[in-house]
Structure 1
Amino acid sequence: MAPLVDRFGRTHTDLRVSLTDRCNLRCTYCMPAEGLNWMPRAEALTDDEVVRVVRVGTQRLGITQVRLTGGEPLLRRGLPGLVARLSALDPAPKLSITTNGIGLARSATVLREAGLSRVNVSLDTLRPERFAAITRRDRIADVLEGLRAAQAAGLAPVKINAVPVRGVNDDEIVDLTEFAAEHGYHMRFIESMPLDAQGAWDRDGMVTAEEILDRLGERFDLVPVGRQDNAPAEEWRIAGTQAVVGVIASVTRPFCGSCDRVRLTADGQLRNCLFATHESDLRALLRGGADDAALEAAWRTSIAGKGPGHAINSPEFRRPQRPMSAIGG
């Protein structure tokens, strides 16, 4: 098969599939307290449609990794069955999921048995009262139980994602790292990005990669590991241990030059960049009787139009119309 290459020579092998725009948390940096207007279920791709798009990706375009996202993907009905179907494809992609962890305790084992390889869990604080303030839900115990269940099920390595926000949780950077190291999780900090539904993102509130590393350096001796393949995180190992901490610096240290990701929204729109302002409608093709060759052509056309980078730091930057919860992480 011909690889999925853009005009800048980047080969795309990583597909992020959003399974829903719904979420059972209301994180302050993501959406308003009342939530959003969720898309009607009829607009979301069916399991058959998701499997077909992924099959075209793996068999005709060289996709090797698929990450299931949301919204909160564990809210997708019949998720283990969908995972089993995706893992049965030939060639089979490596399957992972990004979740808030609330439903992991009851689903980790069955998802592992269905073919899921790995899990990333969002956790911005270890303090129950602060968790309730950030997420507007008192569910930290469920998340911690979910982390334990994922590790016990063999979804390794379990990674924790945290978004430090100045004056909110940035005083826990070291605490979160120590917690992850103690329990055998991999810690990753993510610079906040202008993808909230409210449009309230403020660069001054963003804790930069440099600040994160400065604070970690005050407590730990960090040994550079670098990037693994084209992964977005720069990683360091804590000297004398096997603990790994990563930083995803999308704003201050863009890694667009090595980006290998393409995204499919829950309603079947293909996005060649997280910050894309244009989408390719695969759902219309799927429901209009298009054959696999037409789907492949739509993928290739979308990737051919991918820009050199997200341009967050440029005066010409325009926020995408969709918030993060509707794009998929």
Structure 2
Amino acid sequence: MSAVNVGMPRARLPEIDPSAYEAAPGAPLVDTFGRVHRDLRISLTDRCSLRCTYCMPEQGNEWLARESILTVDEIERVARIAAAAGVTTFRLTGGEPLLRRDVVDVVARLAAVRGPDGPVQIAMTTNGIRLPELLPDLVAAGLSRVNVSIDTIRRDRFAALTRRDRLPEVLEGIAAAAASDLRPLKLNAVAMRGVNDDELVELVEFAVSQGAQLRFIEQMPLDAGHTWDRAQMVTREEILGALSARWELTPVPGRGGAPAERWRLDGGPDTVGVIASVTAPFCGDCDRLRLTADGQLRNCLFSTTEFDLVPLLRGGAGDDDLDGMLRACILRKLPGHAIDDPGFLQPARGMNAIGG
């Protein structure tokens, strides 16, 4: 098994007993710190219909070559092997996953996958722009849940932040999701100083009006231009402070491996979430793997190492070989992302190429 370094390693990788690669197919995906992995994030494309300033440049993007993108058959094969090893949720991401022409087929094929405990769950993170058009077919194909990204509900701000004047289309997508049976419906917002930090309460009120849970995300060092500045990040404590001025916040217990901490608003039933990957990381409970659109396995969003499945998928390798690569990737997972480490290096890929 070999890994491809996509940047200098930020920490020494744990020593691995070679016999660990020989775990029987179907055994749980457990890393050297005892974390059991049940969630695979699958990026369908690095392309997007928006150009959010914190994610990618407006122009000059070098897109993945079409022939490098995994086919539906290849995605399904990896998913089937992962499900046999205990993965129970597949989240489709991008870029913007709804830009992929065969996205409905991808959902249908993955929804048919069965693991040891039965059917898997298919979730998706999207900007919502094509949801009114595609949601009925996606639901019929087996989509279980949807998250929609929306950082502002003010049209001028949206146009400046995304470099596209498409807020009405996003709002139509959210309305379509709210009218569907997909629950829970979650709206994701990156909190940004001087951009939308005066809009936090307004965003939560909008989410509640749609029957959705707003989840604020601390801005992470994943921009393609590598201009992230921790001093400019709106922290978990600042977010909670702003919301506490409007609601009484009561913690919701039982977070488990979920990335978001949740609080009830004035006793519930409505809730708000915060994903504080920088100031309150949840690495110790992380149960996620990532598969990029071009077939690279990543064991952490901030990893500088990738495991290339393409030679196996297109070179005649058996399912046991692919299972072994999944386990090799898991066994190389570090205890945490080390953002606070002086030697931390931002991943070479931007968020759109890694997958949200």
TM class, shorter-length? over 0.9
Unaligned ranges ≥5, structure 2: 1-25
Aligned to 1:251: 278
Q: Which moved more, 1:177-186 or 1:248-257?
A: 177-186
1:289-323 deviation line (CA, Å, top 9, x unaligned): 11000000011011101100000011011111111
Give me the TM-score of the superposition, normalised by structure 1: 0.98
- Residues 1:47 and 1:226: Cα distance change in structure 2 (over 3 Å): same
Aligned to 1:178: 205
2:92 to 65, 68, 73: 68
1:85 to 109, 114, 121: 109
Q: Which moved more, 1:148-157 or 1:95-104?
A: 148-157
Shift of 1:35: 5.1
Distance 1:119 1:35 in 2: 30
Distance 1:9 1:178 in 2: 39
Shift of 1:228: 3.2
Distance 2:256 2:98 in 1: 27
Aligned partner of 1:256: which letter? Answer: C
Aligned to 2:46: 21
1:205-241 deviation line (CA, Å, top 9, x unaligned): 1000000000000110111104533100000011243
Partner SS state of residue 152, structure 2 = coil
Aligned to 1:117: 144
CA contact (8 A) 1:109 1:150 kept: no
Distance 1:142 1:226 in 2: 35
Q: Does 1:169 align with 2:196?
A: yes
Aligned partner of 1:79: which letter? Answer: V
Aligned to 1:105: 132
Aligned to 1:202: 229
Distance 1:284 1:263 in 2: 18
Distance 2:60 2:70 in 1: 22
CA contact (8 A) 1:26 1:35 kept: no
Distance 1:2 1:245 in 2: 36
CA contact (8 A) 1:163 1:192 kept: yes
Q: Does 1:156 align with 2:183?
A: yes
Distance 1:80 1:229 in 2: 30
Partner SS state of residue 222, structure 2 = coil
Shift of 1:278: 0.6
Matches within 5 A, 1:1-329: 1-34=26-59, 36-59=61-84, 61-91=85-115, 92-329=119-356
Partner SS state of residue 232, structure 1 = coil
Aligned partner of 1:247: which letter? Answer: V
Distance 1:179 1:286 in 2: 44
Shift of 1:36: 1.2
- Residues 1:233 and 1:35: Cα distance change in structure 2 (over 3 Å): farther
Distance 2:309 2:181 in 1: 34
The ranges of structure 1 where at least 4 consecutive aligned residues each deviate by more than 4 angstroms after the TM superposition are none
Aligned partner of 1:322: which letter? Answer: R
- Residues 1:214 and 1:266: Cα distance change in structure 2 (over 3 Å): same
* Structure with the largest fraction of helix: 1
| Sequence identity percentage | 60
Partner SS state of residue 279, structure 1 = strand
Q: Which moved more, 1:45-54 or 1:79-88?
A: 79-88
Unaligned ranges ≥5, structure 1: none
- Count of residue correspondences: 328
CA contact (8 A) 1:14 1:63 kept: yes
Q: CA RMSD in A?
A: 0.9
